Amino acid sequence: MPKYDFDIGIIGAGAAGLTVAAGASQLGARTLLVEKEKELGGDCLHFGCVPSKTLIRTANVYHLFRRSGDFGLPPLDMKPVDFRSIVQRIRSVVGTIQKHDSKERFCTLGVRVESGYSFFKDEHAIDLNGETLSARTWVIATGSSPSIPEIEGLDNMPYLTNRDFLSWLTSRVTHYHRRRADRNRDGTGFQPSWKPRFGHPEGRTDPQQGRFRYGH
């Protein structure tokens, strides 16, 4: 009888944890993956990389539409943006990727996937929802969470983090008027509050951002 329940245990099913779990299982290791959230994928899939890059891509496409004349195309009659539709697309993209990061997929790879909070009982064993599970090696891939700065008065007023931005976008910024967009150069329709630095022209903070924003 094996000394441990698993060869390797991973706590956290974000990008790092999923990569380790898939690789270990395919190499024949008895693998346990523990995630406290309802869905696998972590911050990158649900609150970070995927949603933000999808939003940036939408802003880039919209801005190119507005610049159709610069490419020798007829001007387009741009209607006001419905941010609810943008959020729906973001969630659709996340959902498509989620299928590849699902519990069902990793179970088919031979990984045991469990949900819940866990804590270490000793060097090799954890308590997970009252059950003791052991592994020869543990990988802690719990990721990160937003760090709230200690700013005087912040605890008395609402603020946004990457975890609640999309919900806010749906409930508060459902539409904006074209005249608002025409007054600024940002493809998202928000009025920038920053000033250019380090000699970059306004609206171009670095070449990479400029390429995304203006299509160069």
Of 26-30, 35-39, 96-100, 175-179, where does mean pLDDT reach its minimum? 175-179
pLDDT of residue 146: 85
Q: Does some domain include residue 200?
A: no
* 108 and 37, same domain (yes or no): yes
In a domain, 89, yes or no: yes
Neighbouring CB atoms inside 10 A of 45's CB total 23
Residues 110 and 213 in one domain: no
pLDDT at 25 over 90: yes
In the structure, how many helices (H) and strands (E) does the chain have?
8, 6
Residues 131 and 170 in one domain: no
- What is the H or E stretch that residue 35 is in? strand 31-35
Q: What is the dihedral of CA 167, 169, 170, 175, to 10 degrees?
A: 170
pLDDT at 64 (0 to 100): 94
Output b/e per residue, 198-213; b: 16+ Cβ within 10 A. Answer: eeeeeeeeeeeeeebb
Query: For 116-156, what is each residue's pLDDT tens digit?
Result: 999 999 999 999 999 999 999 999 999 888 888 999 999 89
Is 166 in the same domain as 210? yes
Rounded Cα distance between 149 and 82, Å, is 32
Domain that holds residue 165: 45-100+160-191+206-216
| 3-state DSSP assignment of residue 180 | helix
Whole-number pLDDT of residue 195? 45
Q: What is the mean pLDDT of residues 74-81?
A: 88
Residue 25 lies in a domain: yes
Residues 116 and 211 in one domain: no
Q: Report yes or no on 79 lying in a domain.
A: yes
pLDDT higher than 60, residue 58 = yes
Domain count, the chain: 2
Q: What is the pLDDT of residue 159?
A: 87
The CATH code of the domain that includes 23 is 3.50.50.60
Q: Report, as an integer, the average pLDDT of 35-45.
A: 93
Give yes or no: residues 128 and 93 share one domain: no
Q: What share of the chain is helix, strand, coil (3-state, %, to 5)?
A: 40, 15, 45
Are 122 and 216 in a shared domain? no
Report the C-alpha gap between 63 and 184 in whole angstroms: 11
